[in-house]
Chains A and B, each alone.
Chain A
């Protein structure tokens, strides 16, 4: 029992409730949400420290022992993801101070932001499958509000589609939970794992595992990503950064949990389907990233490629590839948030989103240009930078498990990522100055500060990946040996 575990959920929740009372006082709203975000980083850091020192931590709500009550469980994977959520969201918050605009701030932007954080942290920490559904809904409801906030025509149109697809996937989620409950008679994940192992492979449980794969693929944008490129481009860059960094990762985390903890025995159905879906996602995402000439679209398709890559790592399911998946997820959360931030600043500086109409920004914005260039290399996975270690481990895991074709596809996808990002870079920063961009509308200090902070973090993560790996391997051990997780939850 460790009450610390619920803090990453409670802190944003209470902050959000508090912020509702300060609708017109934007200054106070900013101060409270920034203070809460900084405390949240400290709390999440403390959680990682505790998990590192004392192993898996769990909290049984109301003192009801599992499987009867709701258990919150923090293993290393959950703790690390909560920490990076806290860090990335703080950067997005600082970025939004300078970019989101008073109209939106007055209409409950910060409360929605905090509710989203509560949902994301809750999804990472929960150890109960129906509670996972509820946390998903908390996250999705806030994301509906954030995506439509402002009410431009494009936002309204894209939100209609985004809500529809999420209602359908949530309905399927409840249906899958119903089938799983009928087959096993429990909802606690550790207990579910035991019951599924007793039932043995095959039969109705593999059907349920595929249903869960479909549900979480809809949420994460794995193969079923048709809703993603439109909806992530609609809201302002600060919100896009939050979505690109967090929302799809929650879906991926749910896939990792279900397929390493619950349905780990039979890899023939779920895992091989996942490998195919991952490869298809990488190929289709690459096609999109190459085809479009719009900065937002190219970035959205880059998000899709990385989802496919992570899914391939999960499907390979060796020790190396799972460690790689954890490392890559941490890198990807930071790098994708940074990508959307720099993209937003780029579009603002150029006054247009189309790369063919940009040019020669290097003279006006050298800092932005170099940050964008190094980010492109990091996304592709060039050695000293942060994307490399995770990608290398995933590739090694893929080779170990004999998935040569898929490994080739994922290597090629890295090249496409590099090409698509450098295409933006070359069009926007090299050549003659083309645009008659309007003078900078607002102070950009907040935006530069946030992007610079994440950039430094990304560099540090790349250089210190060996230190990071010691934490990550602790997460990977539990993914490859689910007994450890079950032991920690049920044998208390």
Chain B
């Protein structure tokens, strides 16, 4: 199971990086979203996918899944959600002000 997840995460990373390197700003933001998906799945996978009950004590199970990475992922999800929301609004604002979403045209050295 871990191998399958590793391959999937690898594909997510590859697609994410490919999108990051494109010219359009929206594709780049989607690329960052794919990267964060990949990394959250990685956190889940790296702590082991052994079968066990969901981490609720009421389940009375013999073994539970590791609760720590789930908390880490939840933290990381909200953080990346906040950053992505900010990034989208920033992209919208710079499209309005600068009139382009092409990263090639956004270089500009000094001043305007």
Docked Cα-Cα span, A171 to B46, in Å, equals: 15
From A148, A154, A187, contact of B90 by CB (8 A): A148
B46 close to A179 (CB less than 8 A): yes
Report chain B residues within 8 Å CB of A134: 75, 79
Minimum distance in angstroms from A285 CB to a CB of chain B: 18
Whether the pair A157, B106 counts as a contact (CB closer than 8 A) is: yes
Q: Which one of A137, A144, A154, A174 contacts B111 once the chains associate, using CB atoms below 8 Å?
A: A154
A167-B80, A168-B20 known; 5 new pairs, CB 8 Å cut-off, are A163-B90, A164-B28, A168-B35, A175-B42, A181-B72
* Residue contact B98 to A181, C-beta cutoff 8 Å: no
In the complex, A160 Cα to B103 Cα: how many Å? 9
The reply to whether A153 and B97 contact each other, CB–CB distance below 8 Å, is yes
The answer to whether the Cβ of B36 comes within 8 Å of any Cβ in the partner chain is: yes
Chain B residues within 8 Å of A178, by CB: 39, 42-43, 45-47, 69
A151 at the interface (CB under 8 A from B): yes
Q: Is the CB of B112 within 8 A of A156?
A: no
Does the CB pair A130–B94 fall under 8 Å? Answer: no
Contact with B along A104-138 (1 / 0, CB 8 A): 00000000000000000000000000100110010
> Is B87 located at the chain interface by the 8 A CB criterion?
yes
Bound Cα distance A170, B79 (Å): 10
Interface magnitude class on chain A: 20 to 34
Whether A163 contacts B86 by the Cβ 8 Å rule is: yes
Given known pairs A157-B98, A157-B108, A160-B25, the reply for A181 and B47 (CB within 8 Å) is yes
Q: A174 vs B38: C-alpha distance in the bound complex, in angstroms? A: 10
Pairs A-B, 9 closest by C-beta atoms: A182-B46, A156-B94, A178-B46, A178-B43, A174-B39, A167-B32, A171-B35, A178-B42, A137-B79
| Contacts of B92-107 to chain A: CB distance below 8 A | 93-94, 97-98, 103, 106
CA distance A294 to B110 in the complex (A): 9
The contact string, 1 if C-beta is below 8 Å from chain A, for chain B 47-62, is 1100000000000000
On chain B, the residues within 8 Å of A179 by CB distance are 46
What residues of B have a CB within 8 angstroms of the CB of A130 in the complex? 72, 75
| Residues from chain B with Cβ under 8 Å of A160 in the complex | 25, 90-91, 94, 103, 106
- Chain A residues with Cβ under 8 A from B75's Cβ? 130, 134
Nearest to B46 among chain A residues (CB) is: A182
**Which residues of chain A are within 8 angstroms of B25 by Cβ–Cβ distance?**
160
Alpha-carbon gap, A170 to B97, bound state (A): 28
Question: How would you classify the secondary structure of chain B's contact residues: helix, strand, loop or mixed?
Answer: helix
Q: Write the chain B residue with the least CB distance to A167.
A: B32
How many angstroms between the C-alpha atoms of A154 and B86 in the bound complex? 18
Interface magnitude class on chain B:
35 or more
B8 on the A face (CB < 8 A): no
List the B side residues contacting A353 at CB < 8 Å: 110
A-chain residues with CB within 8 Å of residue B80 when the two chains form the complex: 167, 170
Listed A/B pairs (26) with beta-carbon separation below 8 Å: A134-B75, A141-B82, A151-B97, A153-B112, A154-B108, A154-B111, A156-B90, A156-B97, A157-B106, A159-B90, A160-B106, A163-B87, A164-B28, A167-B80, A167-B87, A170-B83, A174-B39, A174-B40, A174-B43, A175-B39, A177-B43, A177-B72, A178-B42, A178-B47, A181-B43, A181-B69
- The complex places the Cα of A353 from the Cα of B43 at a distance, in Å, of 47
Question: When chains A and B are docked, how far (Å) is the Cα of A148 from the Cα of B94?
Answer: 11
- Report A177 CB to chain B, min CB distance, Å: 7
Take A148-B90, A174-B76 as given contacts and tell me if A164 and B39 are in contact as well, using a CB distance cutoff of 8 Å.
Answer: no
Residues of the B chain whose Cβ atoms lie less than 8 Å from the Cβ of A167 = 32, 35-36, 80, 83, 87
Contacts of B68 in A (CB 8 A): 181, 187
Which of chain A's residues have a CB closer than 8 A to the CB of B97? 151, 153, 156
Q: How far is the CB of B84 from chain A (nearest CB, A)?
A: 8
Tell me if A144 and B86 are in contact (CB < 8 A). yes
Q: Are B39 and A171 in contact (CB under 8 A)?
A: yes
Complex contacts, A154 vs chain B, CB 8 Å: 108, 111-112
What CA separation (Å) do A160 and B95 show in the bound complex? Answer: 11
- Closest A residue to B84 by beta carbon equals A167
Query: Could you say which residues of chain A place their CB within 8 Å of the CB of B36?
Result: 167, 171
Chain A residues contacting B47 (CB-CB under 8 Å) are 178, 181-182
Chain B hits for A171, CB < 8 A: 32, 35-36, 38-39
B51 vs chain A, min Cβ distance (A): 18
B43, closest chain A residue (CB): A178
How close is B12's CB to chain A, nearest CB, in angstroms? 11
Which residues of A140-169 are within 8 A (CB) of B?
141, 144-145, 148, 151, 153-154, 156-157, 159-160, 163-164, 167-168
The CA-CA distance from A115 to B98 in the complex, in Å, is: 29
